[in-house]
């Protein structure tokens, strides 16, 4: 198992046909996930295109997530986490923490994404919306949204299958001001491994 350090990100290259298992090691950690087509980072996994393709708000086992060119890039092939993930919320960023009252610079998933891309020699002007693995965004009948603690249990995981050669970025979300990462407001490590 490779570590996704708490509050930090990792970049992982996958070939078409490979699978990557993302483990919620301690059970309450959201992992913001991005995927970019190898060789053209302007083609990325898109939540708004994926919701159309899937016909639902978040993926179930067997659903494929697609790029902004509507090509399948990842498929959810296994999920022992309870199946609650978010596709609606933007990645956290410095502005989000400022609005929440942070007075010091705060780690955030947006900077984590761009740091991971920079390490791969990629500069991207935009920040695509991530697939927020394990994030529990409760949707009420009247349309109201609320961020609730994850339902995932320690050691549960999802397995993502690559439908094309891709660069993945995982960020162990540093959110500690609202219960994105559990009522304890304590970001933790997560882990991943390439299955084959």
**Which residues of this protein are in contact with Zn ion, per CB under 5 A?**
92, 109, 173
Q: Measured from the CB of residue 101, what is the shortest distance to Zn ion in angstroms?
A: 16
Which CB atom, from 37 or from 175, has the smaller least distance to Zn ion?
Answer: 175
CA distance linking residue 115 with residue 99, whole number of Å: 23
CA distance linking residue 89 with residue 67, whole number of Å: 17
Q: Which residue has the tokens 């290259």?
A: 13
Contacts 24+ apart (CB under 8 A), 143-149: 145/88, 145/89, 147/89, 147/178, 147/179, 147/180, 148/179, 149/28, 149/179, 149/181, 149/182, 149/183
Q: Measured from the CB of residue 97, what is the shortest distance to Zn ion in angstroms?
A: 10
Which CB atom, from 30 or from 158, has the smaller least distance to Zn ion?
Answer: 30
Q: Measured from the CB of residue 92, what is the shortest distance to Zn ion in angstroms?
A: 3
Which CB atom, from 109 or from 166, has the smaller least distance to Zn ion?
Answer: 109
Which CB atom, from 47 or from 162, has the smaller least distance to Zn ion?
Answer: 47
Q: Measured from the CB of residue 173, what is the shortest distance to Zn ion in angstroms?
A: 3
């Amino acid at each position: 198992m490779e570590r996704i350090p708490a509050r930090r990100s990792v970049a992982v290259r996958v070939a078409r046909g490979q699978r990557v298992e993302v483990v919620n090691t301690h059970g309450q950690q959201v992992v913001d996930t991005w995927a970019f087509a190898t060789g053209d980072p302007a083609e990325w996994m898109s939540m708004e295109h994926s919701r159309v393709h899937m016909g639902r708000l978040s993926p179930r086992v067997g659903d494929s997530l697609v790029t902004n060119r509507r090509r399948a890039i990842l498929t959810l092939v296994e999920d022992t986490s309870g199946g609650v993930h978010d596709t609606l919320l933007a990645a956290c960023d410095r502005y989000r923490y400022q609005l929440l009252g942070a007075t010091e610079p705060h780690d955030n998933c947006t900077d984590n994404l761009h740091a991971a891309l920079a390490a791969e020699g990629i500069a991207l002007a935009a920040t695509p919306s991530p697939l927020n693995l394990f994030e529990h965004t409760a949707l009420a009948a009247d349309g109201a949204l609320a961020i609730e603690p994850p339902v995932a249990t320690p050691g549960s995981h999802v397995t993502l299958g690559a439908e094309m050669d891709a660069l993945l970025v995982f960020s162990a979300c540093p959110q500690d001001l609202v219960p994105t990462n559990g009522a304890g407001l304590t970001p933790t490590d997560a882990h991943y491994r390439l299955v084959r």
